[in-house]
Structure 1
């Protein structure tokens, strides 16, 4: 393994100068700094994270807390955040919050207190007062994505407005018999996002003077299979059928497309379908969706954390953007 002394010898500088140049702490002339970088690169020298931490008090590591790893949306936000952090020279430590309350408590009471991270990003997790207090007690920069928390800097999406926009698109196409595939109660957890999206759906109907049909509400589990099963129920049971479906996620919307085709319904000629998220398969299925740019959410969270770590004047926190993307799964009634 190449040592810092070897870099100093090749650069023709003292070990102390090389250390200052590589750590970014202390004055080093531009010419000397360039000589150090050239020598380090030619020798394949990598700064020891442990030594750098001792010298700077920084671990160059950010903790990222996520509720699920096997769900497309959360993994996509995570990808955006960790990629942006890596570009800035930071590693990431992942903490997966599970349904086990004891494990969740251990993350906040033990793992984050080991002082192995410089900052924390919480992705779509509703932190209670105790968890928020434990994060603040760390004295580290924290950014939370997904919902309001009066004690933390947050990046939020107005899920009611997102759902209202999706539903208004269907109403604008002349649809009146609109069904909603939402979440079953066990998935209505952090920030009650499914409930907010259902409320946005109901508000849009009410604003348009449309009476909601209770039979046109079907729960699912935010997966393709869940959307498939829910759409089968909506389209296969006796009685009135919807002419359009608003699904609370793109994965459920894709499941609804597959169910409609399985039952012989043409999309969008017989049935319009719209989702939410901006799923990577949306273009393949020509899915109309409200894109909430999950990769950009992660990148913006990383930028907010880096701004706090570097004490810059960059904007921290605020509302996250969303946009209606009209494709081929919606048409006039």
Structure 2
């Protein structure tokens, strides 16, 4: 399909000028506007948001509600969504809700009402009252990392992916397998930690391994907290021979703790993470790769489909993949 860049190139204008011309915005001469519109028609470029949409009340903005703007996962999802939305000539408005108070204010006041044409909600499983408020907006809403009736959603199968990660460790002969996870209950009602913990327990059960007391530690999904959690596991009378970290950032912290304790990886302790963070390959970290950027792209694409042709709500589950690198190896006994 032709893009706005194709139109701009053939019309001999910048992408920004082509977008303004097709959206009916000022500061474009009549001659330039006519040339851009003619090229768009020749290329059969679909103009999703133009002057007529502005006249009908469109804001040409999409809101994104996110718990932690600065964290890698959320920033990467936003980047993926922004790439697609920018191509469609839409602006992005980010609403951060880092704590329960700010989240309650957002859903009570709904500041996005009449300010955005559509809304993305990242990793915030909506309570029934919140889901009602989202549906009442009467604009397309797509959830990333959670689901709710009547709303589109994009995500991965966290349960299956976590099971695969821990199964990788059991197949290497590990029997004492630690878990770096999240506090109970998790912040914001996040469902991901619970699903990944269930995958951990499922893989242990498949291998006939009884979960050992004291081999789970809350790592807070950050490198610093992951390092502290790994130190707690190492202080156990019988530390694990392998660790599954629910995120690569926690795994990075775990590797640092192991290095400081002069514990060989994977000779004495194997570590597997989750995400395939952009630094995972540099640290030779075994992990579960999930398409983070693509989740943002796909979610934005669903929003555009619903804006353009009132497409029905859709659930999309994207694939994950085990990436075996240098931080996982046979259990010491197996070796």
TM-score normalized by structure 2? 0.81
Q: Deviations over 1:261-306 (max 9, x none)?
A: 1111111122110011121110111111111111111111011111
Matched, 1:157 2:159: no
Give the alignment of 1:104-253 within 5 angstroms.
Answer: 104-107=104-107, 109-113=109-113, 115-185=114-184, 187-237=186-236, 239-253=237-251
Aligned counterpart in structure 2 of residue 276 of structure 1, from 264, 274, 277 = 274
Matched, 1:76 2:76: yes
Q: Give the drift of 1:318.
A: 2.0
Cα distance in structure 1, aligned partners of 2:156 and 2:108: 25
Contact 1:108 1:135 in 2 (8 A): no
Cα distance in structure 1, aligned partners of 2:235 and 2:140: 51
Cα RMSD, aligned residues only: 2.9
The change in CA–CA distance for 1:61 and 1:210 in structure 2 (over 3 A counts) is same
Give the alignment of 1:44-123 within 5 angstroms.
Answer: 54-101=54-101, 104-107=104-107, 109-113=109-113, 115-123=114-122
- Higher mean displacement: 99-108 or 247-256: 99-108
The change in CA–CA distance for 1:306 and 1:254 in structure 2 (over 3 A counts) is same
SS in 1 for 2:112: helix
Give the alignment of 1:278-317 within 5 angstroms.
Answer: 278-311=276-309, 316-317=314-315
Contact 1:181 1:245 in 2 (8 A): yes
Q: Deviations over 1:229-257 (max 9, x none)?
A: 111111134x2121111011111111111
The change in CA–CA distance for 1:64 and 1:229 in structure 2 (over 3 A counts) is same
The change in CA–CA distance for 1:169 and 1:134 in structure 2 (over 3 A counts) is same
1:15 aligns with none
Which protein is richer in helix relative to its size?
1
Contact 2:152 2:313 in 1 (8 A): no
- Higher mean displacement: 314-323 or 53-62: 314-323
Q: Give the drift of 1:214.
A: 1.0
Contact 1:124 1:145 in 2 (8 A): yes
Cα distance in structure 2, aligned partners of 1:149 and 1:194: 18
Q: Deviations over 1:103-131 (max 9, x none)?
A: 53345534122x12110111111112222
Aligned residues: 299
Contact 1:50 1:59 in 2 (8 A): no
Contact 2:146 2:191 in 1 (8 A): no
TM-score normalized by structure 1? 0.82
Structure 2 residue ranges without an equivalent (≥5): 1-10, 12-20, 25-30, 40-48
SS in 2 for 1:179: strand
Structure 1 residue ranges without an equivalent (≥5): 1-10, 12-20, 25-30, 40-48
Contact 1:288 1:325 in 2 (8 A): yes
SS in 2 for 1:120: strand
- Higher mean displacement: 159-168 or 100-109: 100-109
Please say which structure displays the higher CA radius of gyration: 1
SS in 2 for 1:112: coil
